[in-house]
Amino acid sequence: MKMSVASSQDILCQFEGDNLPSDLLTVTVVEVRGNLANLTITIPVSLIQSFQSLFNSFLEISNHVKRQLHISQAIDRSRSAVQMAEQKINFQKLLSKVVKKYDAAFLSGLTSRQAIRKTQIEMKEIGSTLNCYQIELIVRQAGRLSKRRNKGNDEKRKEKKKE
């Protein structure tokens, strides 16, 4: 189907000068039902093709806008996925930093509770808002507070004190 785009200039150029007929376009409301209005549009026969082309042009513009909206939403979703991946990487870095600080404090001879508090203080110095409970959960998730793990650390701590 070949589409031709008609502009309002094309339609009006068919009539010369300022003598446009008053009945060039007549719109009549036939019936109103709720939020719907039934209209009748009356135009000269010579303008039917131009009028149809104009409506087809509006339809093409509408379809183009829908496609552009769909594309921009897809781009936003892909950006969101990239941002989520970056956030996940940053979160993993934070977790490893907390565990390293805890390990250093625990191996220096502090109890688990003291090591958690010291870790929280050190994390606050770098701008983190983690509290002791959150740090304890991170350390526990990393397996540092299990009894089996602590036995090995207790021995390392004792050896370090002897030195």
pLDDT recorded at residue 114: 93
**2-6, 112-116, 147-151: range with highest mean pLDDT:** 112-116
Q: Specify if 148 maps to a domain.
A: yes
Residue 137 placed within a domain: yes
Residue 49 lies in a domain: no
| pLDDT score, position 45 | 87
Does this model's pTM top 0.85? My answer is no
Q: Domain of 121? A: 86-162
**Total domain count, the chain:** 1
6 occurs within a structural domain: no
Choice among 10-24, 76-90, 104-118 with the minimum mean pLDDT: 10-24
pLDDT of 84 above 60: yes
Answer whether 51's CB lies under 8 Å from 8's CB.
no
| Rounded alpha-carbon distances, angstroms, from residue 49 to 40, 45, 59, 67, 114 | 17, 8, 15, 27, 85
Q: Over pLDDT 90: what percentage of the chain?
A: 39
Report whether pLDDT(81) > 60: yes
* Residue 61 included in any domain: no
